[in-house]
Amino acid sequence: MLPKIYGSIDEIVADIPDGAVIMVGGFGPVGYPFNLMAALYRQTATRLTFISNAGATFGRKGPIDFIHFYDQGRVAKFIGVGVGSGHPSYPSPLERLVREGKVEAEQVPQGTLAERIRAAGAHIPAFYTPTGVGTEIAEGKECREFNGRGYILEHALHADYALVHAWKADTMGNLVFRRSARNFNVIMAMAGDCTIVEVEEPIVPAGELDPDQIHTPGPWVQRLVQIPPDGIKKLNVREWRERLFNERRLAQVARSQEQSGEKAQ
Amino acid sequence: MSVKERLTRDQMAAIAAQHLEPGWVVNLGFGMPAFVSNFIYPEMSIILHAEHGLLGYGPVAPPELEDLDTTNATGDFVTLLPGAAVMHHADSFAMIRRGLIDCVILGAYEVDSEGSFANWKVSVDLPRGLGDALGGAMDLAQCSKQVYIMMEHTTADGRPRLVKQLSLPVTAIRVVKLVVTDLAVLAMTDKGFELQAHAPGYTVEEIQALTEIPLLVSPDLRPAV
């Protein structure tokens, strides 16, 4: 069945219901579906389960990301790699919510996450991996030896929806990704029951894309939408980081000026 | 009386780079290890692998050569070297799991006498299975051919990071082959960790005093820089 091509980014996610399990592509902001996430945020679905590497990771001042859904109390569970901030002295918002019992989290080693997603797409219900043997990650999981080495049983990870960001697409849903923006998008497109794709370049008629260059064949894709002209196609990560860093520095300077102004009085 | 300085992060990165063999496929972890790429020169023929599916990346791109889709694992824009390749996430970790990574360089909180290390969880109040930062470290550490660790020799309050037994949740068991700290370079031998090089001005006794593991001393012990 051919994918449906939507004219509006809000329409393409409008029917995502409360309680949906949603995979979100990208490795940080690279290949992240900024526009689909913003449209999902504008809609009201709640009690969502998100499956992702870590999100765009720019925080509250960045483009719409999981943090904005956490702030609105719309997330029941996060499954992915980026649960903690990496800095024990500065817990991430998700860590705080986990400690308060407000959001559930499941942290998965990155390779295991990728393979669980691919397995769901490939109808492999479970598989054995060496990753995590002997660590906390192995607890409660079946362990088995093959060729004298221990492996743990991991299960396929499914989603109702996969939000994917692609570079090129044609009307049959064939997708091409660009450089490191590929990452999770290919496997999430496989695993999602309903794969929703935002596309950078104009969606072209079938026959224009070279069959050898296609990363995701059409049958994996259910819905396509062109990223609108005022949408985000790619972010300059460095500029964003510098801007956020400068804003924080300016805020610090302003605060310390206020404090010294108060002391002078 | 001279003031002794510990090795800088750049010096540690250069030392780690010197321990890479020509033609190796190398993965650099988050934090200190990322700086090793600054000391990998073309004549070393190293192939850098980034976990999100980029193989054959080169130095960080100057602004005029930035490509918004071409980043390393820490999110810096990088250049690509001739022969670079892109793959999706599952294929990238298939490459890792299959053992095609000759060497991974990771940061750590602690390394024990057997070469097990902890680098993903310090917040022991978090539930089991949840930690501060668990990315590709377990896949990389358990499946790469060599594991090198770059870390400070002691904690902020002066306690050893080279310990008899890990006090933090383990990342991988008995895998570490080389440790580069700001005081020492240690190589795993079949009798345990051997001190091979020291920060200039530091004696074996001073380094041993800051290390819980009894260290063997290389007959070729030399200054690290």
Using the Cβ of A99 and the Cβ atoms of chain B, whether some distance falls under 8 Å is answered with yes
Cβ proximity of A182 and A215 under 8 Å = yes
Cβ proximity of A33 and A25 under 8 Å = yes
Using the Cβ of B171 and the Cβ atoms of chain A, whether some distance falls under 8 Å is answered with yes
Helix axes A110-121, B89-97, angle to 10 degrees: 120
The answer on A252 and A198 residing in a single domain is no
Mean pLDDT in chain A?
95
CA torsion through residues B101, B193, B162, B169, sign = positive
Per the structure, how many domains does chain B have? 1
Sort out which chain B residues have CB atoms less than 8 A from A107's CB and list them. Answer: 129-131, 134
Sort out which chain A residues have CB atoms less than 8 A from B135's CB and list them. Answer: 81-82, 109-110
Report, as an integer, the average pLDDT of A200-217. 98
Q: What is the dihedral of CA B205, B209, B215, B219, to 10 degrees?
A: -20
B195 vs chain A: nearest CA distance in angstroms?
28
The answer as to whether B139 is a domain residue is yes
- Distance between CA atoms of residues B33 and A256, nearest Å: 35
Residue numbers of B annotated as active site: 51
The answer on A179 and A255 residing in a single domain is no
Of residues A68, A193, A197, A17, the one with CA closest to residue A121: A193
B174 vs chain A: nearest CA distance in angstroms?
11
Confidence of residue A265 (pLDDT cuts 50, 70, 90): low
- Distance between CA atoms of residues A98 and A121, nearest Å: 29
**pLDDT for A138:** 97
Q: What pLDDT digit, counting tens, does each position of B178-223 carry?
A: 999 999 999 999 999 999 999 999 999 999 999 999 999 999 999 9
Helices (H) and strands (E) in chain A, counts: 7, 13
The answer as to whether B73 is a domain residue is yes
- Distance between CA atoms of residues A228 and B164, nearest Å: 58
B165 vs chain A: nearest CA distance in angstroms?
15
Is the Cβ pair B125, A136 closer than 8 Å?
A: no
- Distance between CA atoms of residues A50 and A157, nearest Å: 12
Asked if pLDDT for residue A73 goes beyond 70, the answer is yes
Cβ proximity of B32 and B180 under 8 Å = no
The answer as to whether A151 is a domain residue is no
Asked if pLDDT for residue A71 goes beyond 80, the answer is yes
Asked if pLDDT for residue A175 goes beyond 60, the answer is yes
**pLDDT for A89:** 80
Strand-pairing partners, residue B26, are B48, B103
**pLDDT for A264:** 61
DSSP state, residue A229: T
Across the interface, which of A30, A136, A234 has its CB nearest the CB of B128?
A136
Chain B, residues 47-66, CB within 8 A of chain A, namely 50-54, 63, 66
Domain containing B214 equals 9-223
A-interface mutation test, from B27, B51, B52, most A Cβ less than 10 A away: B52
3-state secondary structure of B35: helix
Phi/psi-derived region of residue A134, left when phi > 0, alpha when psi is between -120 and 50, beta in every other case? left
The answer on A27 and A98 residing in a single domain is yes
Asked if pLDDT for residue B2 goes beyond 60, the answer is no
Report, as an integer, the average pLDDT of A222-228. 98
- Distance between CA atoms of residues A187 and A170, nearest Å: 19
Domain containing A216 equals 4-108+157-234
Confidence of residue A249 (pLDDT cuts 50, 70, 90): confident
- Distance between CA atoms of residues B149 and A176, nearest Å: 37
Is the Cβ pair A118, B90 closer than 8 Å?
A: yes
DSSP state, residue A122: T
Q: How far is CA A69 from CA A40, A73, A84, A152, B159, in A?
A: 10, 6, 17, 33, 40
Is the Cβ pair B68, A98 closer than 8 Å?
A: no
Cβ-based neighbours of B171, under 8 Å, separated by 6 or more: A135, B106, B108, B117, B118, B119, B120, B137, B138, B141
Is the Cβ pair B69, A98 closer than 8 Å?
A: no
Asked if pLDDT for residue B27 goes beyond 90, the answer is yes
CATH of residue B121's domain is 3.40.1080.10
Q: What pLDDT digit, counting tens, does each position of B94-132 carry?
A: 999 999 999 999 999 999 999 999 999 998 888 999 998
The answer on A84 and A17 residing in a single domain is yes
Using the Cβ of B129 and the Cβ atoms of chain A, whether some distance falls under 8 Å is answered with yes
The answer as to whether A264 is a domain residue is yes
The answer on A104 and A198 residing in a single domain is yes
Report, as an integer, the average pLDDT of A171-192. 98
The answer on A98 and A34 residing in a single domain is yes
The answer as to whether A48 is a domain residue is yes
ipTM: 0.95
Report, as an integer, the average pLDDT of B10-32. 96
Using the Cβ of A85 and the Cβ atoms of chain B, whether some distance falls under 8 Å is answered with yes
CATH of residue A177's domain is 3.40.1080.10
pTM assigned to the model: 0.95
- Per the model's pLDDT, the better-predicted residue between A84 and A265 turns out to be A84
The answer as to whether A171 is a domain residue is yes
Confidence of residue A263 (pLDDT cuts 50, 70, 90): low
Confidence of residue A241 (pLDDT cuts 50, 70, 90): confident
Is the Cβ pair B138, A132 closer than 8 Å?
A: yes
Q: How many Cβ contacts (< 8 angstroms) between chains A and B?
A: 162
Of residues A31, A20, A1, the one with CA closest to residue A164: A31
Q: A7-11, A73-77, A95-99, A154-158: lowest mean pLDDT where? A: A95-99
